[in-house]
Amino acid sequence: MRKIDIFDTTLRDGEQSAGVNLNTAEKLEIAKQLERFGVDVMEAGFPAASPGDLDAVRQIASTIKNSSVTGLARLVKSDIDAAWEALKVAECPRLHVFIATSPIHMTYKLKQTPEQVVETTVQAIKYAKQFFPIVQWSAEDASRSDPDFLAHIVEQAIKAGASVINLPDTVGYATPQEYGAMFKYMKENVPNVDQVKLSTHCHNDLGMAVANTLAAIENGADQVEGTINGIGERAGNVALEEVAVALYTRKDAYDIQSGLTLNEIKRTSQLVSQLTGMAIQANKAVVGKNAFAHESGIHQDGVLKEPTTYEIITPELIGEESNNLVLGKHSGRHAFNDRAKSMGFQLDKEALNQAFKEFKQLADRKKEITSEDLWTILTQQQLKDEDAAIYELESVQVHYGTEDSPMATARVKVPDGRILEDACNGAGSVEAIFNTLERIIDGKVHVLDYRVSSIGKGRDALGEAVINLTFNGEEFTGRGAAQDVLEASAKAYLNAINRNLLQSKMKQLISTSV
């Protein structure tokens, strides 16, 4: 069976989704999970974008050993230098450079002639090859480029030293027939094409990203680029888990495999959803909450008699645990630590102690602790350092009645140990909390979006709040989990503020050091 490479760009293209801002600790968590999932290549970011991006890529490059780490760069020396600075520590560093090749992009965006674009490509690849053993070159908007020009520039890029040629459907416009035909055309018309791997990169604007990706694979692509849960610019990228499960389930049709560990899908998907704050639609293929829910009586009856009547994929395949109950009130520290380890968490002693304390507190209030609850507690501890550094919620209280306007009181701890306290009312309980916290942090906040959901099942499930707000004119997303949704909401609010402040603090540090 032919094997294709999986190139994950959750941390670059995915991170470009509107409203998503991951900090370095979160990016590292996702990178480690992607490594566990078995991606061949992960694109960790765009090092030239900012010193913070460069640092995140460097940390990922020095942590990840079993996947090749790459970073994006434009075809300019300063971008390539920044990428090398970030990636030289990697086990197997590779560079991803790109330039647009469609008439519309070359004319209006680049304002370069096709000859200039070829020249820029050749010079930049030659420059990059002095540092990077593997250089991938992307023809942005390839699917709307002239096929002959594309074949010509691809040939030149290969001559200059590119080892992977990526041909994206940048705007999600191509049909599967057209996209497949483009790969076939390159295979037949680029004389040195056998020296490289061809790669797909599909966007989902017309809902055709998976179909386009599969068409490219059938026509000679050796690498698939995409993201977890299909997040990304606009309607997103192709969802890698969907491609992987399609290839697995229909190996009779494709005869192609990926090296992914499919039973890590559920966990990877949940982590990305949790840390980006981007919810997964219930009916999404493979990872949606309803993906395995058989609702109609006829279907249920069929599945009970013989699962394959209606079930083409099993929940076990993607690592969805059928028996979710993991620990109870009487579970001891030893069982808890074992479980954390088997879930892949590597916490230091202090963080583990704190997580155990929170587990005990939750177990007092909640009968069954599920793996989702544990996951939330442990992830929170793992990411704590970077998140909770400035404002920390001590307590929140709300007086609510259907007759009067709700009043909230909150106590918030600041780094010098002081406790700030205030109270305020609002039209609803959540607004009262947000108004109170706005007074405490003393700044202008606009709430753009706010969402509450439950983690796991049951009436005593943990609540999770995700908030999207602007503070000091910048947009940030924050998350918080607690047994009570009001407490979760307060935590999410402060989490967004902390992220904002930490990022501006980092910017200041950087601007004074250069």
Distance CA 391, CA 498 (A): 6
Residues 103-122 that bind Zn ion (CB under 5 A): none
Stretch in the footprint of Zn ion (CB under 5 A) among 6-14, 381-389, 430-438, 472-480: 6-14
Minimum CB distance to Zn ion, residue 180 (Å): 19
Select 225 or 438, whichever has its Cβ closest to Zn ion.
Answer: 225
Distance CA 434, CA 348 (A): 34
Return the residue nearest Zn ion (CB atom): 13
Token digits for 155? Answer: 């040939």
Q: Which of 21, 196, 170 is nearest to 94 (CA)?
A: 196
Dihedral in degrees, nearest 10, Cα atoms 365, 367, 372, 373: 20
Member of 5, 13, 35, 155 binding Zn ion (CB under 5 A):
13
Minimum CB distance to Zn ion, residue 10 (Å): 12
Minimum CB distance to Zn ion, residue 96 (Å): 11
Select 202 or 412, whichever has its Cβ closest to Zn ion.
Answer: 202
* Paired strand residues for 449: 468
DSSP state of 76: S
Select 13 or 40, whichever has its Cβ closest to Zn ion.
Answer: 13
Which DSSP helix (H) or strand (E) runs through 218?
helix 209-218
Minimum CB distance to Zn ion, residue 203 (Å): 6
Which DSSP helix (H) or strand (E) runs through 63?
helix 51-63
Minimum CB distance to Zn ion, residue 25 (Å): 25
Minimum CB distance to Zn ion, residue 210 (Å): 15
Select 229 or 382, whichever has its Cβ closest to Zn ion.
Answer: 229
Select 212 or 382, whichever has its Cβ closest to Zn ion.
Answer: 212
* Paired strand residues for 395: 411
Residues 195-234 that bind Zn ion (CB under 5 A): none
Select 5 or 13, whichever has its Cβ closest to Zn ion.
Answer: 13
Select 7 or 336, whichever has its Cβ closest to Zn ion.
Answer: 7
Stretch in the footprint of Zn ion (CB under 5 A) among 10-18, 91-99, 326-334, 403-411: 10-18
Residues in the chain: 514
Angle between helices 333-342 and 371-387 (to 10 degrees): 80
Select 13 or 79, whichever has its Cβ closest to Zn ion.
Answer: 13
Minimum CB distance to Zn ion, residue 201 (Å): 6
Instruction: Give yes or no for a contact between 158 and 165, defined as CB atoms under 8 angstroms apart.
Output: yes
Q: How many residues bind Zn ion (CB under 5 A)?
A: 1
Q: Is 43 in the site for Zn ion (CB under 5 A)?
A: no
Minimum CB distance to Zn ion, residue 170 (Å): 6
Stretch in the footprint of Zn ion (CB under 5 A) among 5-13, 132-140, 204-212, 337-345: 5-13
Q: Which of 384, 392, 363 is nearest to 462 (CA)?
A: 363
Stretch in the footprint of Zn ion (CB under 5 A) among 8-16, 118-126, 262-270, 406-414: 8-16
The residue whose two tokens read 């991951």 is: 22
* Amino acid occupying residue 44: A
Residue 249 makes CB contacts below 8 A (sequence gap 6+) with 312, 313
Stretch in the footprint of Zn ion (CB under 5 A) among 7-15, 71-79, 86-94, 187-195: 7-15
Greatest pairwise CA separation for the chain in angstroms: 78
Select 68 or 204, whichever has its Cβ closest to Zn ion.
Answer: 204
From first CA to last CA, the distance across the chain in angstroms is: 52
Instruction: Give yes or no for a contact between 186 and 179, defined as CB atoms under 8 angstroms apart.
Output: no
Minimum CB distance to Zn ion, residue 233 (Å): 6
Distance CA 264, CA 272 (A): 12
Select 166 or 381, whichever has its Cβ closest to Zn ion.
Answer: 166
Minimum CB distance to Zn ion, residue 108 (Å): 19
Q: Judging by DSSP bridges, how do beta strands 407-413 and 392-399 pair with one another?
A: antiparallel
Residue 51 makes CB contacts below 8 A (sequence gap 6+) with 506, 510
Q: Name the residues that contact Zn ion, by CB under 5 A.
A: 13
